[in-house]
């Protein structure tokens, strides 16, 4: 009898194990196929003409295209770094879900971190990521982490010192669910009561991190349905209304993958047909790093700067907040996501998002692993930090409309109002060898301020502004254009901000 039970138990275990790993087998095999054949889509025939004719740019001087949130460029600190959870290892080996390396909690009192973060304000500071769904307030269970009331108070203090507003992802993972997968809200309510006792309201609460990818992060047996998430969100909304009425709700924070969009478990449409969060959220990564067990587009230098990779965002974007995005999923790609090459993607996605009226883009992450704006051990800025600083300095929330003649996909053109009520253009040349020529039809380049970002090579961690190396607290001094010509040259693989000197009606 015992042997029979043993055999049955073993059989059940094998079935359950195969059920659990089957997505990895299927998508692992798919990723091999896609990685080998995706380059077929990257042919010159897919790129709009490349010629020696100037790209003629005409600005609508009288009307704005959109106005985005004044916290448009925002950023996250991963929950792992707040509570000392699992994080991406520097080796770049394959890791599932949350990474394999245990990290120490981030020192939120560090003066250099506070100063560097303050320079990016105002922004939303998201506390979230995969470990958010493994974290309990003032409580701990096996395979979970504790966010103590003291640590939460430290997070609040850090946000206040850096002049940023909190955006907090609430645990909706397995540790908060009963046998029927129903969300148990009592731990979150304890947190809300604590916040009420210290007279603080977190501006935005988001329920769960990528619930359509629970099968991958927490195991397929922990995947929840759209119907269940809807029921959970209704409870979530009612709790916030009761305890923190000025806070807004966000969700469903679904994951979108390269090429296919929403992950194979597609629940977003049904969720949003049945609930109305104050803020709709989604996550997007254009590539997947070597750490990801599944890769539809593996991160590499060729893919990173290809116009087709950049343009894919337009297929998926919608008028909702991106509450998590980074250069490459699973911590970023070593020696790529933390190098100058990443700034082309980052600034281009910001330009596309603003042009598409996406109100907020939250970068994963402020600090940590290869996709951080700041290197976590040295606190030295990565190239995308400097790109973000320039965006904050030169591009306001007022988005301008342009029309292009002779355009091609290698020259990216975006325009916003500046604080001085003049137009600022962002021009990005993706091409490795060919300079791009821009001709401004109704703007005078004379006395315009030029901010050119470049590097010795794309995989350099050192960035130059107008051919001078940037350091953490450099003065961002422009070159003043003395020519009155309409023609402007953008060198291969370089990034240019141009702040014009003439005020326009649209910016008043």
CATH topology of domain 52-64+399-507: Immunoglobulin-like (2.60.40)
Q: How far apart are CA 504 and CA 145, in angstroms?
A: 53
Q: How far apart are CA 414 and CA 395, in angstroms?
A: 10
| Torsion of the alpha carbons at 67, 71, 77 and 83, rounded to the nearest 10 | -120
Nearest by Cα to 304 from 23, 38, 16, 29: 38
Q: How far apart are CA 495 and CA 411, in angstroms?
A: 10
Q: What is the pLDDT of residues 150-209, one digit of tens each?
A: 999 999 999 999 999 999 999 999 999 999 999 999 999 999 999 999 999 999 999 999
Please answer whether residues 392 and 72 qualify as being in contact, where contact means their C-beta atoms are separated by less than 8 angstroms.
no
Preceding peptide of 65 cis, ω within 30°: no
Question: What integer pLDDT is reported at residue 316 of this predicted model?
Answer: 87
- 69-395 shares the fold of 52-64+399-507: no
Q: How far apart are CA 174 and CA 85, in angstroms?
A: 16
What would you report as the CA-atom Rg of the chain, rounded to the nearest whole angstrom? Answer: 24
Question: What integer pLDDT is reported at residue 319 of this predicted model?
Answer: 80
- For residue 325, report the phi and psi dihedrals to the nearest 5 degrees: -155, 150
Q: How far apart are CA 391 and CA 383, in angstroms?
A: 13
* Other CB atoms within 10 A of residue 419 CB: 12
The continuous run of DSSP H or E covering 30 comes out as helix 2-37
Question: pLDDT 10s digit of each residue in the chain, 508 long?
Answer: 434 433 444 343 334 333 444 444 444 444 444 444 344 344 433 444 566 789 999 999 999 999 999 999 999 999 999 999 999 999 889 987 789 899 999 999 999 999 999 999 999 999 999 999 999 999 999 999 999 999 999 999 999 999 999 999 999 999 999 999 999 999 999 999 999 999 999 999 999 999 999 999 999 999 999 999 999 999 999 999 999 999 999 999 999 999 999 999 999 999 999 999 999 999 999 999 999 998 999 999 999 999 999 999 988 877 899 999 999 999 999 999 999 999 999 999 999 999 999 999 999 999 999 999 999 999 999 999 999 999 999 999 999 999 999 999 999 999 999 999 999 999 999 999 999 999 999 999 999 999 999 999 999 999 999 999 999 989 999 999 999 999 999 999 999 999 999 999 999 9
Question: What integer pLDDT is reported at residue 49 of this predicted model?
Answer: 52
Question: What integer pLDDT is reported at residue 314 of this predicted model?
Answer: 87
Structural tokens at position 4: 């029979």
Q: By three-state DSSP, how is residue 170 classified?
A: strand
Q: How far apart are CA 379 and CA 426, in angstroms?
A: 28
Structural tokens at position 164: 């940023």
Question: What integer pLDDT is reported at residue 45 of this predicted model?
Answer: 38
Residue found under tokens 């129903």: 182
Preceding peptide of 365 cis, ω within 30°: yes
Q: Domain segments of the chain: what residues?
A: 2-41, 52-64+399-507, 69-395
What are the DSSP calls for 391-454, one per residue? HHHH--SEEEEEEEES--TTEEEEEEE-TTSSEEEEEEE--SS--EEEEESS---TT-EEEEEE
How far does the chain reach from its first CA to its final CA, in angstroms?
Answer: 84
Q: What is the pLDDT of residues 297-312, one digit of tens each?
A: 999 999 999 999 999 9
Q: How far apart are CA 467 and CA 469, in angstroms?
A: 7
Question: What integer pLDDT is reported at residue 50 of this predicted model?
Answer: 66
Question: Which CATH superfamily is 69-395 part of?
Answer: Glycosidases (3.20.20.80)
How many angstroms separate the Cα of 410 from the Cα of each of 306, 428, 433? Answer: 8, 8, 11
């Amino acid at each position: 009898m015992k042997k029979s039970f043993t055999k049955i138990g073993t059989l059940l275990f094998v079935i359950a194990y195969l059920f659990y790993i089957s997505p990895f087998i299927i998508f692992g095999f798919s990723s091999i196929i896609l990685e080998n054949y995706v380059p077929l889509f990257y042919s010159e025939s897919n790129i709009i003409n490349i010629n020696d004719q100037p790209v003629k740019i005409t600005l609508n001087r009288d009307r704005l295209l959109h106005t985005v949130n004044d916290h448009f460029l925002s950023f996250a600190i991963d929950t792992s770094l707040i509570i000392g959870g699992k994080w991406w290892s520097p080796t770049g080996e394959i890791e599932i879900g949350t990474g394999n390396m245990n990290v120490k909690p981030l020192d939120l009192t560090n003066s250099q971190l506070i100063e560097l973060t303050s320079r990016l304000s105002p922004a939303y500071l998201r506390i979230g990521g995969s470990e958010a769904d493994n974290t309990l307030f003032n409580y701990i269970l096996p395979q979970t982490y504790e966010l103590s009331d003291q640590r939460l108070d430290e997070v609040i203090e850090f946000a206040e010192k850096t002049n940023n507003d909190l955006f907090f992802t609430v645990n909706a993972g397995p540790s908060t669910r009963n046998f029927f997968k129903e969300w148990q809200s009592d731990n979150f309510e304890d947190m809300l009561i604590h916040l009420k006792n210290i007279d603080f309201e977190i501006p935005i609460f988001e329920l769960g991190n990528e619930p359509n990818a629970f099968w991958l992060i927490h195991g397929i047996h922990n995947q929840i349905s759209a119907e269940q998430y809807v029921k959970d969100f209704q409870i979530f909304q009612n709790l916030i209304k009761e305890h923190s009425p000025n806070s807004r709700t966000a969700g469903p924070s679904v994951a979108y993958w390269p090429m296919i969009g929403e992950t194979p478990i597609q629940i977003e449409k049904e969720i949003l047909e049945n609930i109305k969060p104050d803020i709709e959220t989604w996550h997007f990564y254009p590539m997947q790093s070597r750490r990801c067990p599944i890769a539809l587009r593996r991160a590499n230098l060729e893919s990173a700067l290809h116009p087709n990779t950049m343009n894919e965002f337009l297929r998926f974007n919608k008028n909702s907040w991106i509450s998590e995005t980074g250069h490459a999923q699973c911590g970023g790609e070593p020696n790529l996501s933390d190098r100058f090459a990443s700034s082309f993607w980052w600034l281009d996605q910001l330009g596309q998002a603003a042009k598409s009226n996406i109100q907020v883009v939250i970068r994963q992450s402020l600090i940590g692993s290869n996709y951080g704006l700041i290197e976590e051990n040295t606190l030295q800025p990565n190239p995308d930090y400097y790109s973000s600083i320039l965006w904050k300095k030169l591009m306001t929330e007022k988005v301008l409309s342009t029309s292009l003649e002779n355009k091609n996909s290698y020259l990216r053109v975006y325009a916003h109002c500046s604080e001085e009520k003049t137009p600022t253009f962002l021009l990005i040349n993706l091409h490795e060898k060919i300079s791009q020529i821009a001709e401004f039809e109704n703007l005078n380049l004379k006395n315009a301020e030029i901010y050119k970002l470049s590097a010795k090579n794309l995989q350099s961690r050192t960035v130059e502004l107008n051919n001078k190396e940037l350091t953490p607290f450099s003065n961002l001094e422009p070159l003043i254009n003395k020519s009155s010509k309409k023609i402007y040259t953008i060198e291969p693989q370089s990034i240019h901000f141009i702040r014009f000197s003439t005020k326009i009606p649209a910016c008043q």
